Each structure stands twice: as C-alpha cells, then as structure tokens.
Structure 1
Amino acid sequence: MDFDWNLTWNIGEETIGWEEIGIAIGIIILFLVFRKIFITYLYKIILRFSRKAPTEIMTNILLAFEKPLRVFFVFIGFYVAFRYLPFPEKYDLQLLRLLRTFNIVLIAWGLYNLSATTSTIFVKIGQRLDIEFDDILLPFVSKLVRFAIIAMAISIIASEWEYDVNGFVAGLGLGGLAFALAAQDSIGNFFGGVVIITEKPFTIGDWISTPSVEGTVEDITFRSTKIRTFAQALVTVPNSTLANQPITNWSQMGKRQITFNLGVTYSTPKEKVERCVKRIDSMLRNHEDIHQELIMVRFNAFNSSSLDIFLYFFTKTTAWVEFLKVREDINLKIMEVLEEEGVSVAFPSRSIYMEKQEIEKMESSLDNTIDNFKK
C-alpha cells in the first residue's frame, strides 16, 4: 500500500483519490445524521403508535432492537462508503461476509434483549399455549432462550466464514461422554431444576420445609435453589437433592390447624363437663377468625389423671403471627368458660390407696422408731 500525499492513495493496482475518500467520509457522516433523525423523530413516533396497540409485543420488539438499530446505521454507512471506493474485487467477498456477520450479531443482540425476564412476550406466548409463567419459570426459560440464541448465532457465523460446524458438533458428541461422566452432579442438578420448574411445588417467596432445610425460597438457578431460613441464613440446596425430597409448601395452606386435648379434673361433675363442651363449641362457631367448615369439640377420653375434651378446628389465616394471635384469643376464651363454670384444669397427679392394716403397721413402726430415738 503506497501513499501519495498530494492527490492519491494507492492500494495494489487501484488508485483512490482524496476526492473519493472525502466523498466516502461524507457518506458515513450522512448515515450518522440519518441515524440521528431516525432515532430522534421517526423511531419515537413509531414507538408512540405501537404503545396504543392492544398488545405490548410490538413495543417490546421495538425497544429490544433500538440499540442494534443505532449500530446498524453506523455500520451500513461504513459499508456503503467502502463499496463506493474502488477497492480490488478480491475484498468484495470478505466485505459481504463481514456485513452478514454483523447483521447476525445485531439480530442476535435484539433477540437477546427481547428474551429478558422483563419482556412480556413470554407471558403472551404462555397465554396462547396455556402455560403460566411464574417468578421461577420465567427466569429459567429466559436463560435457556438466551443460551440458545447465542449458540445459534455462533454456529451461523462460523458457517458464514466456512468453518466446519459439523465437525465441531461431532467433536462435542465424542467428548460429550467424558464430559457427562465428569459432570454427573451438575447434569443431575440441571434436570432436578427442570423437574422443580415443571411440577411447580413452590414459587419464589413461598415458605417451604424439607428434611434438610426450612425457609423462604429466594431464587432458583440451573444448579441450585436458594432458601432463606428464619434465622436469616441463606442455604443453597442442589436441585437434584431438593427434587428427590418431600417438600411441604406451607404458603399453599388454605387454613391452619389447631388441635389439642383439654384435661379437666376428675372431680368435675358430668353436667359441668357437658356445659363446657357446648359453650366452647358455640364460642368457636361464632368466632370470626375460625374456619367454620370443620369444628370438633367432644368429651373424648378418661385419661390417667384427667377428663379429656378433644378440640379440632382451623383458623382462616395462615400467617404465623396472625395465627398465634387467634390461638391466644381462643385459649383466653376457653379459660373464661372454665372459670365461669368453676372447672379446674387437671395436671398430672397420682393417688395412693392403702389398706387399713397396712396403715396400722406403718403407725406402729413409726411409734417404735420415735421411742427408740427418745431413749
């Protein structure tokens, strides 16, 4: 490449004048100005009209491709400018490949933005396919789609530059077995995450308990699920472990159970036991925080030291703090019923009955002991 600083620029057998170079620079500036006009005015007008449409899909597409379009105008300006210059024909194929590669990158860039978790396109697709995207499924699908977009873009670009993609894929297949053997745990965790996503035993924010951990679900990734315990510790559980354990989702409770035995003393008359049972049952059936579907209050058993009244009912609230307030209120009202009826709560006790002869022997032995002590 030879330079003639006066009039020309020599590239191989071709000679480019400074006038042609100036025109090429002018073409680039013209496209930059056109980009500014398009983005500032035309694009905003199109975006404004798209927001008036019944769906937000077109708006999401325009927003996702906004930055790629900005770069596209700049690259097209350079492409047209280089095409204007009399470069040798041997560069035409390389320049065309470069243009195609850049277009693939820009399209992949826009699709990558479109597949973000903030996009509503997944919700619209889910409505068409009758699939509900929640706080766990949406990030998971978004990551899978983005990974597929990047992999496809790299594959197409490699094919464009005549790299043997089939050989690369075959090489992955040959090495896949060794990789799979070395990453059995990771693969198991991935499929465990897929099971959790598809079966939906819980979602982000749910209170769950398993044999290994109990707390609130904060996040799920390809490998693990993060659970915040009530002691505010963050526990990371592998998905393969979590998918193979029984999971209790306390957040899915429609009501919360209360059941216990109320023991009263054996000296309580039959009539008072009956009145206590009826009054407690009536109190529960008229309590605004008690679920009325199933309420059981029955004189249940003759225990070793008490007459047991069995209580079984549910609160409407499932929140832990509210549940404790309702339970406290119920206990206080039961105490009020017992006090008004003059009934005492029994506590574990034992009575010992002895024959009269045994008592006389014990008294005689005690008297002898006292006499000996005096002597």
Structure 2
Amino acid sequence: MENGIIQQIDYLLKQLFLGTPLYKWALALIVFLLFLLFRKLFTVIVLGIIRKFVSRTKTTLDDKLLKVIINPVRFLFIVFGLWFAINILGAEDEILNHFIKSLFIITVFWMIYNAVIIFQTNFYTFAEKFGKDLSKELGNFFIKSAKIFIFILGLVAVLQEWGIDVTAFIASLGLGGLAFALAAKDTVANLFGGLTILADKSLKIGDWIKVGSVEGIVEDLGIRTTKIRTFEKSLITVPNSYIANNPIENFSRRNNRRIKMTIGLVYDTPGDVVKKIVEDIRNMLHEHPRISKDLITLVFFDKFGDSSLDIFIYTFTDTANWTEYMAIKEDVNLKIIEIVEKNGSAFAYPSQSIYIEKVPEKLVFYDPDREN
C-alpha cells in the first residue's frame, strides 16, 4: 500500500505543467520561500547586530551607509530567490535573464538614489559655500538634479541591458526628435529660469513676493517651477521662466512699511487751529517710538477738498512685519483722533450746503386734481 502511495506521488510529481515537471515547480517554490526566510533572518539577526554595532560608534557615517544599503540588500534576497528558482525550472530564457539582470541594475541604482537622500545634509553644507541665504534653495536644486540624473542613468543602463542602443535610438527619431525638442523647449526655459533666480538671489523659500497677479509666500523653489502659497491658502505653481521674465516685488526684503493717508477737517475749522493740528501730528510722528527716524516724514495742509480741509500724512514704520505694522498704524490713527478733538475740530464727511439767495413771496403749487 505504501509503495502504491509512493508511486502515485512519484507519478503526480512527474506530471508536466507548462512543459516542466511539477516536482521542479515545487522545488523552485521551496527555494524561493527559503530565500524569503533568509531575508527575514538577515533582517532580524544580522541587521540587528550591525545596528547595535554602528550605534556605539562616534561617527554617523556608518549609520547613514547602513540606511543606504538596508532595503536594497533585502531586495537582493528576492532577486537571488527568483534567479535560483528560474535555474531549477530550467527556464534559461533570454528574456528572463535580461529581467533578472535588470533587477540587479535597479538595485545598484536604488542604493545610489538612497545615498542622495541620506546624505542630503551634505548637499546643503556644500550649497552654503555659494551663500548661506540661498543654501536651502541651492541644496534642493542639487538634490533634485542628482535624483533626475541617477534615474536617467539607471533607465539607460536597463535599456542597454535589453539591447536597446539609446544613442542610436535618439538619433533615429528624426522628426520625432525635433518634435520632442520643441515640446521640451518650455521645460528647458524653466530650468534656466530656475538657475537665473538662484544666481540673482531675487527670492528664497519663506519670502513674501508678488509676481504679476500672484502674491504669497514662497514654499518651494524647484528646478522647473516655484510654489507660492497665497494668503487665501491656495497653492499656486508658477513656471520659473515666468518669474525670471517678470518683475518680482519682494516684500520680505524691505525693513519698513509706509503709512500714507489724507484726513479731512470740517470747513469751519479756523486757520490757526488747522496749523496747530498739523504741528501736533508732525510732532507726534517724530516722537513716536515705532516711526522710523531715518526715513522721511511729511505732514502738510494739502488742499481745499470738496467738503473738507485736507491734511496729507506720509511716514514709515520701523518694521515690515504685517501684524506689528497694523498695530502701529492703529496707534497713530488713535493719536490723530485725540489731536483733532483736543483742538476743537472734527473730521469732515462728504456733504453739500445749499444757499437760497431769495425766496419768492408767493409760491404757487400746481394741483392736477383741482378743477379749472
């Protein structure tokens, strides 16, 4: 009976599936699962020991290198498992060989890509040599450029593995290549626009700027676009070529904010009172602790308005911060109200006075309902 069962199992395992005996499929599956088990043991035991060792060293370089290789090495167990399983199945197919080799290439470039991410602080340190003000923007530019370069290089290596001559392929595009170049024209313009922005140091992340109709805080300065967060909390992506070719108003680069206003006094205010109000406002601004003493301050009786005597006020605060500016402006406004009221005058509002030179002695009113 036992021999019969063995014979049946032997017969079953020798059955073919996709031209390969079932026992080879079973053996290939077992080998692949063993590599998954080795991967788990490597992660828990070997990497655990390595982590403890590198954590005791004084340098952080080994910690970073471990982060660079840990996931790609774990992925290699899957690649080797597939490779051994394919060999067991006897599927020595050219496509499968290219596929396995492509996975090895991807793993190598994965490590290089991780190195860019893990060592990005070094990119920022290198960028500081070109200026601390733009170290973050230049660092981001270097990192993104390196990522794109590694991705393109890895893609070319994989294509070469599959027998695709990239150089010949690009050269054979002909009109298609010309169309591609024309389509990429804007991308190239945006790339050089980003380089121009960095070279001019016209803005950096965190600046409050206005370009055309777009106004807000710069959140990201990329290779192709710049992201601006508006005060309505919308995120606007602006092409770098547009920023490079348009005037940039950078509010964060100024140290002061302007107060400019015209106040109107009622017309029955005597001339000497108007003069006293002007002098009091001028003295108040000169003595105000938050009004800039280095910039011009103007207070003058400006003109005879339609319904008021207009006083022109022009000065600057000592800060560009919006909240502080509004608090200073409020304080100045309240002090102007006190000065006007203290001098016995009042603020005018639009009004008209009608003077009738002579009233008729007898007024005749037309009544349409009255009988003739």
Q: Establish whether TM, by shorter chain, passes 0.5.
A: yes
Q: CA deviation at 1:350?
A: 11
Does 2:66 align with 1:62? yes
Who is 1:35 aligned against?
39
Who is 1:337 aligned against?
339
Q: Is the 8 A contact 2:123 2:142 kept in 1?
A: no
Tell me which amino acid in the other structure corresponds to 1:331: N
Tell me which amino acid in the other structure corresponds to 1:325: A
For residues 59-98 of structure 1, the aligned pairs below 5 Å read 59-77=63-81, 79=83
TM-score (norm 1): 0.67
Distance 1:94 1:299 in 2: 85
CA pair 266-110 structure 1, distance change in 2 beyond 3 A: farther
- SS of the counterpart of 2:288? helix
- SS of the counterpart of 2:260? strand
Q: CA deviation at 1:151?
A: 1.8
Who is 1:253 aligned against?
254
- SS of the counterpart of 1:153? helix
TM-score (norm 2): 0.68
Q: Is the 8 A contact 1:27 1:80 kept in 2?
A: yes
Q: Is the 8 A contact 1:122 1:133 kept in 2?
A: no
Distance 1:271 1:167 in 2: 85
Tell me which amino acid in the other structure corresponds to 2:315: Y
Does 2:303 align with 1:303? yes
Who is 1:13 aligned against?
none
Distance 1:291 1:47 in 2: 59
Distance 1:341 1:141 in 2: 64
Runs (5+) with no aligned partner, structure 1 = 10-15, 352-361
- SS of the counterpart of 1:268? helix
Q: CA deviation at 1:46?
A: 2.7
Q: Is the 8 A contact 2:277 2:343 kept in 1?
A: no
Who is 1:358 aligned against?
none
1:284 aligns with one of 288, 298, 319: 288
Who is 2:166 aligned against?
165
* Percent of aligned positions that are identical: 32
Who is 1:327 aligned against?
329
Q: Is the 8 A contact 2:141 2:223 kept in 1?
A: yes
Who is 1:156 aligned against?
157
- SS of the counterpart of 1:294? coil
CA pair 349-298 structure 1, distance change in 2 beyond 3 A: farther
Give the stretch that moved more between structures: 327-336 or 243-252: 243-252
CA pair 61-182 structure 1, distance change in 2 beyond 3 A: same
- SS of the counterpart of 1:209? strand
Q: Is the 8 A contact 1:294 1:313 kept in 2?
A: no
- SS of the counterpart of 1:316? coil
- SS of the counterpart of 1:215? strand
- SS of the counterpart of 1:245? coil
Who is 1:125 aligned against?
123
2:321 aligns with one of 318, 323, 342: 318
For residues 218-233 of structure 1, the aligned pairs below 5 Å read 218=219, 224-231=225-232
Q: Is the 8 A contact 1:255 1:291 kept in 2?
A: no
Who is 1:357 aligned against?
none
Tell me which amino acid in the other structure corresponds to 1:335: I
Give the total of aligned pairs. 339
Q: Is the 8 A contact 2:215 2:230 kept in 1?
A: yes
- SS of the counterpart of 2:209? strand
CA pair 92-171 structure 1, distance change in 2 beyond 3 A: closer
Q: CA deviation at 1:80?
A: 5.9
CA pair 225-302 structure 1, distance change in 2 beyond 3 A: closer
For residues 165-204 of structure 1, the aligned pairs below 5 Å read 165-171=166-172, 175-196=176-197, 198-204=199-205
Q: CA deviation at 1:68?
A: 1.5
Q: CA deviation at 1:53?
A: 5.8
Who is 2:107 aligned against?
106
CA pair 235-97 structure 1, distance change in 2 beyond 3 A: closer
- SS of the counterpart of 1:110? helix
| Cα shift readout 1:262-310 (whole Å, capped 9, x = no counterpart) | 566552259835751564035413xxxx154525545545634647464
Tell me which amino acid in the other structure corresponds to 2:76: F
- SS of the counterpart of 2:103? helix
Distance 1:202 1:254 in 2: 15
Q: Is the 8 A contact 1:257 1:315 kept in 2?
A: no
Give the stretch that moved more between structures: 242-251 or 189-198: 189-198
CA pair 224-270 structure 1, distance change in 2 beyond 3 A: closer
Tell me which amino acid in the other structure corresponds to 2:47: Y
- SS of the counterpart of 2:255? coil
Q: Is the 8 A contact 2:206 2:218 kept in 1?
A: yes
Distance 1:86 1:274 in 2: 99
CA pair 333-74 structure 1, distance change in 2 beyond 3 A: same
Give the stretch that moved more between structures: 62-71 or 124-133: 124-133
